[in-house]
Amino acid sequence: MTHYPNGPIVIAAGGTGGHLFPGQALAQELRRRGRRIVLMTDERVQRFDKLFPDADIYAVPSATPSGKGIAGLLRAAPSILAGVARSFSILQRVKPAALIGFGGYPTLPPVLAAILRGVPACVHEQNAVLGRVNRLAGPHVQAIASTFDAPKFLKARDAGKLVLTGNPVRDAVIAQAGAAYETPGNEGKIKLLVFGGSQGARVMSDIVPLALARLPERLRRRLSVVQQCRAEDIARVGEIYSAADIDAELNAFFDDMPARIAACHLVIGRSGASTVSELAVIGRPAILVPLPHSLDNDQKANAEKLAQAGAAWMIEQKYFTEDALCERLEKLFEDPADLEAAARAAKAQGQPNAVRDLADLVEALGRGEFRALRRRGRNGGKSDGDAKLLKFAIGGA
């Protein structure tokens, strides 16, 4: 294929916010560099106009195999093959410099088409577990960008392609990265933020209000709760808080979530890739309740990473009860030094330069100047013991 170093960058992303938000952050950075952006996504394309306002957006057929095994794959094959054909045609028309896929089955057809056409391509893994599409594409792309230094299921043959960039976060998150953590002390307001991912989570509405209502009165009167609820849960959750005399703001959606994270003392939420990355960049402690049936247990792996760093407390959903949560919260609120220490630990895990590093990688691929160098340590020069990681260099530097 003819090389087009000045062509657009194609971003293949779709499905959940965990795949879309890093793509949005990368698009913002590349637009600042004067790059034209092409988004190839699934057929829910209208949802993404506001996330990618300056991009040329193309809908590509795809499907997620239903169930495990060859039967599920065969049922999805016609849509995937149609998506590959459509993607092949789009790539021929837009003449991209490079393509990056953010995982999930909506990205499979564009990534396969790029491989077939010889377009310089890489994939990005947001989670601590390498996703199935990225595992499939790994042997055939030039680089595997990663949030974590040793994603589960990375094959030894592909380890030489691993580039530790971190997980890009949106401009609105970076804008809050400098907000200092202020401990609530022993008398001040305790600001608690509760959310369950882009679609909300019923378990948060079922457990959190009842757990907070069981706290001692001296703690309840200090609480200021902001909680994302499903619309159908708002009334009953509000009644519980009102009866317990707890100040609470409830909504089905908050469009200023990064500012809400920065303003709180503690988050209770799921542990999707974007949530974990945003908590770390802003530097806020959290109680994380992984989605129990997430593919390959990626949310549990994400939560374990922060918990092992001292930045969060993980409670698996089967143990996420009123008693367990109330006991944990009472200990934390009675000794806010633990919250402050966890906030520092979270901040130490943050990778605020991830979007810059990922944009550098993609542009290097587009120019044909990418090469891998072994080095020690992780993004930003922090040491990770003897772990050998790959960092990229431009023009052999």
Q: What percent of the chain has pLDDT over 70?
A: 88
Q: Quote the CA–CA distance of 214 and 59 in Å, as a whole number.
A: 49
Given this model, what pLDDT does residue 18 score? 80
Q: Quote the CA–CA distance of 190 and 256 in Å, as a whole number.
A: 19
Q: 220 and 285: one domain?
A: yes
Q: 164 and 205: one domain?
A: no
Q: Is residue 18 marked as binding?
A: yes
Q: Looking at residue 79, which CATH number applies to its domain?
A: 3.40.50.2000
Q: 279 and 230: one domain?
A: yes
Q: Show the domain range for 359.
A: 9-169+352-394
Q: Is residue 170 marked as binding?
A: yes
Q: Is residue 299 marked as binding?
A: yes
Q: Quote the CA–CA distance of 82 and 341 in Å, as a whole number.
A: 51
Q: Is residue 47 marked as binding?
A: no
Which pair of tokens denotes residue 77? 């094959």
- The per-residue pLDDT for range 334-362, each reduced to its tens digit, is 999 999 999 999 999 999 999 999 999 99
- Within a domain: 3: no
- Within a domain: 1: no
Q: Is residue 227 marked as binding?
A: no
Q: How confident is the model at residue 85 (pLDDT cuts 50, 70, 90)?
A: very high
Q: Is residue 6 marked as binding?
A: no
Q: Is residue 2 marked as binding?
A: no
User: Does residue 377 surpass a pLDDT of 50?
Assistant: no
Q: 226 and 286: one domain?
A: yes
User: Does residue 389 surpass a pLDDT of 80?
Assistant: no
Q: 67 and 102: one domain?
A: yes
Domain count, the chain: 2
Given this model, what pLDDT does residue 76 score? 80
286 or 187, higher pLDDT: 286
In the predicted model, what is the mean pLDDT of residues 270-288? 97
Q: 137 and 191: one domain?
A: no
Give the mean pLDDT of the chain: 90
- The per-residue pLDDT for range 90-117, each reduced to its tens digit, is 999 999 999 999 998 899 999 999 999 9
Q: 204 and 128: one domain?
A: no
Q: 52 and 153: one domain?
A: yes
- Within a domain: 4: no
Q: How confident is the model at residue 165 (pLDDT cuts 50, 70, 90)?
A: very high
Given this model, what pLDDT does residue 376 score? 30
Given this model, what pLDDT does residue 48 score? 66
Exposed e or buried b per residue across 44-64, where buried means at least 16 C-beta atoms within 10 angstroms of its C-beta: ebeebeebbeebebbbbbbbb
